[in-house]
Structure 1
Amino acid sequence: MAVPVPLRRLFDYLPPEGLAPSDLIPGQRLWVPFANRKLVAVLVDIVSDSPLEQLKPAVELIDRQPLFDGPSRDFLHWAADYYQAPVGEIYAAALPVALRKGKPADHWAEQWLQLTVEGKGLPESALARAPRQQALLQLLLRRGAQSRTQLKAQGHTTATIRALEERGLAECSIGPTVPPPIPSAESSPAPELNPEQQQVLEAIPTDRFTVSLLEGTTGSGKTEVYLRLMERVLAEGRQALLLVPEIGLTPQTLRRIAARFPDRSIAALHSGLAEGERAQAWLSAAAGQADIVIGTRSAVLTPLPRLGAVIVDEEHDGSFKQQDGVRYSARDLAVVLGRNAGAPVLLGSATPSLESLHNALTGRYQHLRLRNRAGNARPPQIHIVPTLGQPLEEGFTPQVLRHIGDTLSRGEQVLVFINRRGFAPALACDDCGWLADCPHCSSKLTMHRRIRQLRCHHCDYRRALVDSCPQCHSRSLSALGGGTERSEELLGQRFADYPVIRVDRDTTASKQALDRLLAPAREGEPCLLLGTQMLAKGHHLPRVTLVVIQDADGGLFSADFRAPERTGQLLEQVAGRAGRGDLPGRVLVQSRYPQHPLLQLLLEKGYGAFARQLLRDRAVAQLPPHRAMALVRAECEEPRWAEEFLEAARAQMQALAPPSPQLSYLGPVPALLERKSGRFRFYVQVTAERRGQLQPLLARLCQWAEGYKNRRLRWAVDMDAQELS
């Protein structure tokens, strides 16, 4: 049994009382006793004997039919082995919350209509004198079994269904409920592909496993390629999986796909859904009833019995890497999933990750390109605006403010990018130098003036905004730096005739909030969009002709070796929001260091040249993607204990595999954010020439670490780590 506990092994149980082993099927869920708890476990295998002398019986069988088929179980076990994760925890991560809690799968069951043998033998025109029955017969001949929900959405009545049943042409069975159809204003015909899109589409086979990196400039029509690939896969009777990085992108993506495929079952999987909605969508996907599955990171763990293609949009995005619990990469697992299913995998981005680009340049992935924007759109003009020595008004130069006003007066839209939410990132006393620090983290409290709070954006600690210094009682307090709130206040005053739409995590906390906020901008009225990186991804706003990047310097001097890559990706993605329609676009980039070589390279020669330079730098430094890397992490309220654990862990690994040119160790060193939520955090970095050198070493380390006697200490192995913080 795979039990959701942090132990890297399976557990043996006897069948529940009254059930024989023949009543059980691998992939079913059962309630099992564990210590003094009752947990939901997944049956992995049935064996005739056990090395243990005394076994407890499982408490109760939950599922009559297995939720995980053989291929999906093999996939999850592969992921658990690769990421050195407890197999029970990865099964738990694969399940939606309602099923993780033991809710019966048949709670969402409904009737499905399918043709009998007699019905399948009829031609589509057999019921020409009964047009409604004929239409239903044609649908079932083309699409196979349909749920009552699907039939109702397509206008088929109970009377028509009953008529086919009475003729012996169709019959009903019980199956999972299909989620209600996605609302779509009207069906959308496919636009004509340009030559580049057509060439890319023809290069992707659907009859075998391949991995293709689609490097397409922003606005080049990557989404249309995704839709055409889905169309081919659906025509073959298979499922398509589309992974997106953010919940906020899901509604607009769903609408576009629903408009293109109005008669197809579409399941959405993301954390913004209610428990019942997500369980319903998951069961539909796992039963093979959903034709298209759209989801964020965890959707890659969902069983898909008819999988025909996997598409990862914005594949470079850090959101695809789970940063706690089972630390998997959905992008990398998507490749394994496609390989197991014999299906093509398409990774799309205007700014590919260095890992994917390296795989493409070395021939492991097929490298496809879309160099031109779709339709009449042209690439925006990009200008650097130096800020040193300039009189700044809440972070904006007079030149930038003038251009914003001119753009709005022409009836066009402006997007201002500031990657800091709140009013100011710090509050300080002018007299004694006091700073508002988080008591639980190595960070400052962010000032949120509108709600009069100081907040930590790492642990969510909150306190009331103070009017005087707690240290010297001076009332001379200054808000240092700027955030979206502060800029919203300024821009709202300077351009009072135009709406200012702020998009950050504070304004998009509720379900569908991002979609509602962007609705006025999609209608085309002149407005000013202001926000964080939530605005940088996937939004098509053709009336945005000016993009302002308030500060381009944030990641150019970070201690994290991945920071320049992320900075380049973010700047390129934000700049790509400009000029996506018929109107020309312009991008103004404010910088204190306009002569920085990486910034100059990015703006003058584009992301492709920028990324290749970073790859050369990584090769010299022997860093990923040229070498495999894992972090052994530890955190504790007492920092000495975390360091002692990691020193012992490094000694264990070095005893098994001494340092060499092929294998190196670094640490223990503090994480970039050393203290978070009251716990001090350290790591040991292990790099190897090949991943095969790391896996057996890390597996032995986990065996040792599980026996380490300090319950107040937390440790984890982070394979292919993406964050040093």
Structure 2
Amino acid sequence: MSKFFYNVAINIPLRQAFTYHLNYEIPLGRRVEVKFGSTKKVGIVIEQLINSEIDTKPIQKVLDDISVFSVSELKILKWASDYYFHPIGEVLNSFLPTNLRQIKNNLDFAEIEENEITYFKRVKFENKLNAQQLKAFRFLKLLKGFKPVLLYGVTGSGKTEVYLRCVQENLLKNRSILVLAPEISLIPQLENRFKNIFGGLVGIYHSKMTINARYKSWKKFRNGNLKVMIGTRSAVMMPAPKLGLIVIDEEHDTSYKQQDGFKFSARDIALKRAQILKIPIILGSATPSLRTLKLVDEDKFEVTKLTKRVTQKNPPKFTILDINSADMVSGLAKNSLDVISEILKKNKQVLIFINRRGFAPQFVCSYCNWKAMCSSCDSSLVFHHQVERLICHRCDSSFGIPRKCPSCSKEQLSYIGTGTEQLENTLNNYFPNIPIYRMDRDSTKKVGSLEKILSEIQSSKAGIIIGTQMLIKGHDFPNLQLVIAVDVDQGITSLNTCAVEEMGQQLIQVAGRAGRSDGQANVIVQSRYFNDQNLLQLKSGNYLNFANSLMRERKAMSQPPYYFEATINASSSNAQNNIDMLNFAKKFIDHNKCLVIGPMPAIKSKVRGSYHHHILIQANTRALLNKILSHVVNSLDEDKSKISRKARWGINVDPTEF
């Protein structure tokens, strides 16, 4: 009897596939049941071999009649495994619906009803494109093959209208379209815009959906019943029979980078997918990442620009408010409160941006300086007034509020700092008859709560909107006339090399929510560093000037995007084990070819009882960095001294957090 040999990827933390055999031939991408040790596991067939030099176990069962990943999709996922130095089984599992990670479930397309819309007919759009939009659309319409294009458009310039036209052109050719958004909070607005035009051809995919709802979307996009899929980073490898276009909205956003487990960038995987499929990809942003701007400068990306708002109204005016000697109330300067009052009298809305949820970030004893800390992490417990708990924002551990200091037993406990809850409470007292809308992770936990808040904001006149970064991108608040940015100084003082870039992007994005209808908006940036050069650059509201200045600085200092970085991360319950393991890893790095820093504690140095350390590697070319990492990974995998097993370790390529 003939034997057919296959390499099978299994969801385990080993950087290899495993060879099994079957007495008949099957296509690649099929899910199979295999024995691994004494257990049965789901595997995915990724390669067929001519023969095997080792004894192999048989594949127990072929689970489905159809492949979960196509040959081209497997090629992309293998690239991702190699590029990020992550086990292939875990990479494939990351993009497999939860239902299909279990042996008991089968992929059955017979359950899906056929879509009634067989042929798409051109629709009539309500909004006509202006001259700049029309020029951008005509440029994008003519793209063929792999063409990365930056659609640079100032906030309010109508990038989504251009997306919609490009989507229609692909639907007319019976092609599928993948639209990525960085935050779940942006999905409802995009979904409404797209469904108003394309109806039942549009689906969504993100982590707040139920497991079954995600699985249904995955299957419908897989077999072509859905043609337009809008999703967050987990949707980047959604299988589609005829993918014709990928759109990455807010391409600059660091939320596209997964920070735990398989540390991939959805932006970069999308680019690789477009390259392998030879299709166009549009990267849209009002505040493009420095990486993208560098690729534009090098003519590796093309660019088309929307430099004016659709309404032709002026962008908001920036004011930097020195708060060093200001009277402060819950993080707001008295001057800011006075301006808020004036705006509310005009029946207009105010948005207060503070990237810190909860009531106060620290809970302390004023007598002995005791501070409430998480017992499993090295972080302060955040006081949450609404639920009367002290909560760790790293591990979500929750504790009751002590009446006396646990250290000195004095009743002199208080809180320090400001969060979204405190601002809501304070402003309710100042403006008792004004509706206040708080938008953060806590207020949007319930299903439908986000949509409800957005709907109420749209229908109200005077009002105050308080929120974290989830509200600063993509939302349109027509009655908004004032934006106040609170606590931006952490972007100036942070040790994170990406902090200044992110601060600039956030300020331009949050400012862009205001003044879209009348052009009379103002932005107040509260800061103790009112003479900071980066803030002064942003004061003009011209992001590209700020970005170009920052790029010159980065180039002079040999920092990304002109140099390439990766970290080797280690975690264990013993900090010394991390240090020993990382010092061992350094022995396999040629220090003459790159810069190596560390071992050093991560900024989040302890999470859920585990200590985290890393070494930073910086090389002047991508090829050199990959070569260095490959040698280190192979050496650690082959380590017979077992030093590398003292800690859990992994690679983070192109890190955005340290």
Task: Confirm or deny a common fold (TM above 0.5).
Answer: yes
Equivalent residue for 1:95? Answer: 96
Are the aligned partners of 2:508 and 2:541 in contact in 1 as well (CA < 8 Å)?
no
| AA aligned opposite 2:13 | P
Equivalent residue for 1:313? Answer: 249
* 1:89-238 matches, cutoff 5 A: 89-102=90-103, 103-106=105-108, 109-112=111-114, 140=118, 142-143=119-120, 189-204=125-140, 205-238=142-175
Structure 2 counterpart SS, 1:573: helix
Cα distance in 2, alignment partners of residues 473 and 107 from structure 1: 65
Equivalent residue for 1:9? Answer: 16
1:608 partnered with 2:558: no
Cα distance in 1, alignment partners of residues 282 and 391 from structure 2: 40
| AA aligned opposite 1:545 | Q
Structure 2 counterpart SS, 1:610: helix
| AA aligned opposite 1:714 | R
Distance 1:707 1:509, change over 3 A: farther
Q: CA deviation at 1:304?
A: 2.2
Cα distance in 1, alignment partners of residues 280 and 354 from structure 2: 37
Picking from 677, 690, 693, the partner of 2:608 is 677
| Cα distance per residue 1:422-444 (max 9 Å; x no partner) | 11000111111111111222211
Are the aligned partners of 2:577 and 2:646 in contact in 1 as well (CA < 8 Å)?
no
1:453 partnered with 2:384: no
Equivalent residue for 1:528? Answer: 464
Equivalent residue for 1:259? Answer: 196
Distance 1:622 1:376, change over 3 A: closer
Equivalent residue for 1:718? Answer: 652
TM-score normalised to structure 1 length? 0.86
Cα distance in 1, alignment partners of residues 519 and 558 from structure 2: 45
RMSD between aligned alpha carbons?
1.8
Equivalent residue for 1:184? Answer: none
| Cα distance per residue 1:234-265 (max 9 Å; x no partner) | 11221111000011211111111000112x51
Q: CA deviation at 1:508?
A: 0.8
Structure 1 counterpart SS, 2:570: strand
Task: In structure 2, list runs of 5 or more residues that go unmatched.
Answer: 1-7
Equivalent residue for 1:690? Answer: 621
| AA aligned opposite 1:83 | Y
Distance 1:569 1:502, change over 3 A: same
Structure 2 counterpart SS, 1:45: strand
Structure 1 counterpart SS, 2:236: helix
1:560 partnered with 2:567: no
1:659 partnered with 2:595: no
Structure 1 counterpart SS, 2:53: coil
Cα distance in 1, alignment partners of residues 303 and 227 from structure 2: 27
Cα distance in 2, alignment partners of residues 277 and 101 from structure 1: 17
Cα distance in 1, alignment partners of residues 552 and 656 from structure 2: 19
| AA aligned opposite 1:61 | V
Equivalent residue for 1:153? Answer: none
Q: CA deviation at 1:711?
A: 5.0
Cα distance in 2, alignment partners of residues 62 and 251 from structure 1: 35
TM-score normalised to structure 2 length? 0.95
Cα distance in 2, alignment partners of residues 546 and 209 from structure 1: 42
Q: CA deviation at 1:583?
A: 5.3
Cα distance in 2, alignment partners of residues 385 and 697 from structure 1: 47
Q: CA deviation at 1:642?
A: 0.6
Task: In structure 1, list runs of 5 or more residues that go unmatched.
Answer: 114-135, 145-186
Equivalent residue for 1:364? Answer: 300
1:419 partnered with 2:419: no
Cα distance in 1, alignment partners of residues 179 and 95 from structure 2: 16
Are the aligned partners of 1:424 and 1:480 in contact in 2 as well (CA < 8 Å)?
yes
| AA aligned opposite 1:206 | L
| Cα distance per residue 1:379-411 (max 9 Å; x no partner) | 111212221111111121222112212212221
Picking from 467, 470, 474, the partner of 2:403 is 467
Are the aligned partners of 2:383 and 2:391 in contact in 1 as well (CA < 8 Å)?
yes
Percent identical among aligned pairs is 34
Are the aligned partners of 1:646 and 1:668 in contact in 2 as well (CA < 8 Å)?
yes
Cα distance in 2, alignment partners of residues 507 and 110 from structure 1: 35
Equivalent residue for 2:586? Answer: 650
Equivalent residue for 1:21? Answer: 24
Are the aligned partners of 2:112 and 2:220 in contact in 1 as well (CA < 8 Å)?
no
| Cα distance per residue 1:189-228 (max 9 Å; x no partner) | 3411111111111222332221111221111111111111
Structure 2 counterpart SS, 1:301: coil
Structure 2 counterpart SS, 1:625: coil
| AA aligned opposite 2:650 | A
Q: CA deviation at 1:493?
A: 0.8
| AA aligned opposite 2:35 | P
Picking from 482, 489, 503, the partner of 2:439 is 503
Cα distance in 1, alignment partners of residues 50 and 650 from structure 2: 34
Are the aligned partners of 1:424 and 1:479 in contact in 2 as well (CA < 8 Å)?
yes
| AA aligned opposite 1:665 | V
Are the aligned partners of 2:185 and 2:471 in contact in 1 as well (CA < 8 Å)?
no
Structure 1 counterpart SS, 2:390: strand
Cα distance in 1, alignment partners of residues 475 and 512 from structure 2: 10
Are the aligned partners of 1:376 and 1:582 in contact in 2 as well (CA < 8 Å)?
no
Equivalent residue for 1:80? Answer: 81
Equivalent residue for 1:68? Answer: 69
Q: CA deviation at 1:93?
A: 0.8
Equivalent residue for 1:577? Answer: 513
Cα distance in 2, alignment partners of residues 28 and 266 from structure 1: 27
Are the aligned partners of 1:413 and 1:543 in contact in 2 as well (CA < 8 Å)?
yes
| AA aligned opposite 2:655 | A
Q: CA deviation at 1:595?
A: 1.0
Cα distance in 1, alignment partners of residues 374 and 301 from structure 2: 45
Cα distance in 1, alignment partners of residues 238 and 637 from structure 2: 28
Equivalent residue for 1:247? Answer: 184
Equivalent residue for 1:288? Answer: 224
Quick check: 243-252 or 546-555, which moved more? 546-555
Equivalent residue for 2:37? Answer: 35
Cα distance in 2, alignment partners of residues 292 and 304 from structure 1: 10
Are the aligned partners of 2:114 and 2:225 in contact in 1 as well (CA < 8 Å)?
no
Are the aligned partners of 1:267 and 1:282 in contact in 2 as well (CA < 8 Å)?
no
Equivalent residue for 1:59? Answer: 60
| AA aligned opposite 1:58 | I
Cα distance in 2, alignment partners of residues 525 and 422 from structure 1: 26
Equivalent residue for 1:641? Answer: 577
Equivalent residue for 1:172? Answer: none
Structure 1 counterpart SS, 2:319: strand
Give the greater-gyration-radius structure (CA): 1
1:440 partnered with 2:440: no
Distance 1:373 1:605, change over 3 A: closer
| AA aligned opposite 2:71 | G
Q: CA deviation at 1:445?
A: 0.7
Q: CA deviation at 1:705?
A: 2.3
Structure 2 counterpart SS, 1:309: strand
Structure 1 counterpart SS, 2:636: helix
Cα distance in 2, alignment partners of residues 31 and 232 from structure 1: 42
